[in-house]
Amino acid sequence: MSLGEKLARVREDLGAAAKRAGRDLSEITLVGVSKTAPRPAIEEAFRLGLRDFGENRVSVAEEKFTPLPYPPNQASLHLIGHLQTNKARRAVKLFDIIHSVDDLRLAQSLNRYCAEFGKKMPILIQVNVSGEESKEGLAPVELGTTLEQVLRLDYLEVRGLMTLAPYTENPEEVRPVFARLQTLFEKHHPGTPAWRTLSMGMTNDFEVAIEEGATIVRVGRAIFQ
């Protein structure tokens, strides 16, 4: 199956999930997780209309997106993997949005480098809803205090929450994880217009995530493998 066919199938499934949930498809952003994709595949996906790309590692993204594989300001690059504080400056320079802010120290570093570059960085707070030790993210009980502190940082625009669900062949098993993030999203709403994003759901489970309120889904294997 060609990349174009794979992308069309994902878009069809995304649209069907939105329809089942009674949602407008325009509310949902498809991020193509390009961490395993070579630069030519990213260029082709852009030609096919994909406008959001996700990378896990700063160093790998630097190699593939420097220079950009598409015209400037025509697509967005999302950092969706764990970010170490010592790579915050490089992340600020390259990425358009960071999904994986999971502690105050990292947020403060990002804020400092955003000030240096004169850049307002959209971010999401990563929450470890499932409680898996292998997953990064704040514990749900830590979210309120950390969010309150991060919202005070002038150069960060906090748009919402992100989570990683456990891998499973049956996506219904992780529906409670997505429902819990939606509950946390509503509970901790800071009342700011920017607070509108729930990043959850990947290749195996993005349809369930959409049904539970996802506004960003991160799909890699179904597009690029």
Which pLDDT value is given to residue 188?
97
Q: What is the DSSP letter of 20?
A: H
Among 115-119, 131-135, 154-158, which stretch is predicted with the lowest mean pLDDT? 131-135
List the beta bridge partners of residue 78.
54, 97
How many separate domains does the chain show?
Answer: 1
The residue ranking higher by pLDDT, 133 or 47, is 47
| Peptide bond connecting 40 to the previous residue in cis, omega within 30 degrees of 0 | no
- Residue 166's pLDDT is what? 92
Mean pLDDT for 61-67 is 97
In whole angstroms, how far apart are CA 161 and each of 36, 98, 118, 122, 224?
A: 25, 11, 24, 11, 25
Tell me the CATH number at 116.
3.20.20.10
Residue 149: the pLDDT is 98
Angle between helices 3-20 and 39-47 (to 10 degrees): 60
For 195, the domain range is 3-224
Q: Is the pLDDT of residue 133 over 90?
A: no
- pLDDT of 135: 87
According to DSSP, the β-strands at 156-162 and 121-126 are parallel
Inter-residue contact 63 to 51 (CB < 8 Å): no
Give percent above pLDDT 70 in the chain: 100
- Which residue from 160, 202, 166 is spatially nearest to 182, judged by alpha carbons? 160
Residue-wise pLDDT tens digits, 152-183: 999 999 999 999 999 888 999 999 999 999 99
| pLDDT value of residue 19 | 97
pLDDT score at 139? 96
Least confident of 7-21, 40-54, 124-138: 124-138
